Amino acid sequence: MANGSFGLDNEALIIKSGIRNVFTPHIPIDEISHFFGREDEATRLVSVINSPGQHILLYGDRGVGKTSLAKTTCKLILHKLQRGHFFEKRCDSGDSFSSIFVEALEKCGIDLSFREATQTHNQGGGAVLNAVFAKADLSTKRETKTTIVTTFKPDSPSWVAKHLKSLSGIMLIDEADALQDESDKKKIAELIKLLSDHKSNFKLVVVGIAATGEELTAGHPSVERCLKEVSLQRMCDEDLKKIILNGMNSLNLRPDDSVVEKIVDISAGYPHFTHLISLKCGEAAIVRGNKHITKDVLKSALNEAVKDSEGALQRMLESTLRVLNTPQEYKFLLLTASYCNTPEFRSSELREKLKSKFGVIVDSQTLSRRLTKLTKGSEKTILYKPARGCFQFTDPRMPSFLKMALNADDDVM
């Protein structure tokens, strides 16, 4: 094989370089040395966590770097400013309020596990049967199991607050949007208020995907004074450049300015895509034994990045194009829509961009009809209509994926 058995030779070079510890598109950053950008947001979080009675609710779109910011900030505080425990709970659909705080409560000496005790009883009169060859005890043994039932109330915010209030540290509750029961979100809000009332040094940082903070607190009204809501927006271009250039510099790689600009453009404020494309560019350069990253390297890297992207985005684009009679025309349309500067766009705006960017002229009725077709279907559609005459991508990350996938498509470009 050209690249060694099953690509093992290339993998050895990539692993040796350490690039996958620098660009990490699939896992949150938790090392301060690899955290670039978001200095203003990190400074704000540090200030809030160190304010008495204040806790944090960090929310925003998927892929904007919420978990990376939260983990890095928490660890920085505990390393530089405070001494205490760090707990992290990533929620899933099976979690509830009572399951979130098990580890922290165990640190307080509370054992929430249920135990069974087995006891053996002897039963019988102890009669003895004599025989020529044997002597047997006729008493019998009976085993019974007794379940020890605890009186703990891990589903009560006041009970949990009573035991956590003396603990020093920070707890990160990640993906809080995964909690299925609204009452569990409300209980977290109640716990935050109680910890604040107790003037506890145990702080909660709640992170989740949401458009508003109320979605993660079930609209609990009395938590506002002690819970600082931080809406994390997409990263600015300068911060994305820091991720690329600082990461590449640490690996002794040299990207062309045009490559950096293209990665920033495709990323559209999402650090996930910045990490993903930079990783694939770096891997390609390392395998080639060339430290210089050119547009040719970027071209091949985009193909690999598309393969490594989230399956939901790939399936949505593929299922959309599969049922269209002229998929090539729709590719131009979708790629152009990904360059609209606002989340919502009108057909007139898209018509102007088609003309200026690709020199393609489409009459307004045809364009409106095609856009509307992209909002129809039995499955989740690639576009939807938030208002009459307006269109928006169903997944806000789709424009970045389209730029990455269709820029790598020679038929389009």
Largest CA distance in the chain: 110
Delimit the CATH 3.40.50.300 region(s) of the chain.
38-109+155-232
Q: Which CATH superfamily is domain 38-109+155-232 in?
A: P-loop containing nucleotide triphosphate hydrolases (3.40.50.300)
- Domain 236-307, architecture per CATH: Orthogonal Bundle (1.10)
pLDDT of residue 133: 41
Name all contacts of 314-322 with Cβ < 8 Å and 24+ positions apart.
Answer: 314/401, 316/380, 316/382, 316/394, 316/395, 316/398, 317/382, 317/398, 317/401, 317/402, 317/405, 319/379, 320/374, 320/377, 320/381, 320/382
Residue 396 has pLDDT above 70, yes or no: yes
Residue 131 binned pLDDT confidence (cut-offs 50, 70, 90): very low
pLDDT digits (tens, 9 = 90+) for 364-392: 898 999 999 999 877 788 999 998 889 99
Residue 413 binned pLDDT confidence (cut-offs 50, 70, 90): very low
Delimit the CATH 1.10.8.60 region(s) of the chain.
236-307
Q: CA dihedral in degrees (104, 110, 113, 119; nearest 10)?
A: 160
Whole-number Å distance between alpha carbons of 53 and 268: 36
Residue 123 binned pLDDT confidence (cut-offs 50, 70, 90): low
pLDDT of residue 189: 93
pLDDT of residue 341: 78
Token pair 């005890």 is found at 137
Predicted structure pTM score: 0.80
Residue 59 has pLDDT above 50, yes or no: yes
Two structure tokens written together for 206? 């709640």
pLDDT digits (tens, 9 = 90+) for 235-294: 999 999 999 999 999 999 999 999 999 999 999 999 999 999 999 999 999 999 989 999
* 403 Cβ contact list (under 8 Å, min separation 6): 265, 266, 268, 335, 338, 339
Over the range 222-253, which residues count as b (16 or more CB within 10 Å of their CB) and which as e? ebeebbbbbebebbeeebbbbbbbebbeebeb
Query: CATH code for 314-407?
Result: 1.10.10.10
Residue 360 binned pLDDT confidence (cut-offs 50, 70, 90): confident
Task: Reduce the DSSP state of residue 354 to 3 states and report it.
Answer: helix
pLDDT digits (tens, 9 = 90+) for 95-117: 999 999 999 999 998 877 655 55
Residue 132 binned pLDDT confidence (cut-offs 50, 70, 90): very low
* 167 Cβ contact list (under 8 Å, min separation 6): 84, 85, 104, 107, 108, 200, 201, 202
Q: State the average pLDDT over residues 331-354.
A: 89
**Distances 211 to 62, 72, 175, 232 between C-alpha atoms, Å:** 11, 23, 14, 10
Residue 228 has pLDDT above 70, yes or no: yes
Share the mean pLDDT of the chain.
Answer: 85
Whole-number Å distance between alpha carbons of 11 and 393: 36
Residue 215 binned pLDDT confidence (cut-offs 50, 70, 90): confident
Least confident stretch, 146-155, 319-328, 356-365: 146-155
Q: State the average pLDDT over residues 223-228.
A: 87
Least confident stretch, 78-87, 165-174, 342-351: 78-87
Q: State the average pLDDT over residues 386-400.
A: 92
pLDDT digits (tens, 9 = 90+) for 61-76: 988 999 989 998 888 8
Token pair 């690329």 is found at 244
Whole-number Å distance between alpha carbons of 100 and 109: 16
Token pair 């006891």 is found at 119
Whole-number Å distance between alpha carbons of 341 and 268: 10
pLDDT of residue 202: 94
Residue 411 has pLDDT above 90, yes or no: no
pLDDT of residue 153: 67
Q: State the average pLDDT over residues 183-199.
A: 94
The single-letter code of the amino acid at 55 is: H
**Polymer length in residues for the chain:** 413
Residue 126 has pLDDT above 90, yes or no: no
Decide which of 128 and 35 is more confident: 35
pLDDT of residue 30: 66
pLDDT of residue 145: 58
Pairing assessment for the beta strands 390-393 and 383-384 based on DSSP bridges: antiparallel
The single-letter code of the amino acid at 201 is: N
Decide which of 7 and 122 is more confident: 7
Least confident stretch, 33-42, 197-206, 282-291, 355-364: 33-42
Question: DSSP letter string over 243-301?
Answer: HHHHHHHHTT-EE-HHHHHHHHHHHTT-HHHHHHHHHHHHHHHHHHT--EE-HHHHHHH
pLDDT of residue 33: 61
Q: State the average pLDDT over residues 174-194.
A: 94
Residue 192 binned pLDDT confidence (cut-offs 50, 70, 90): very high
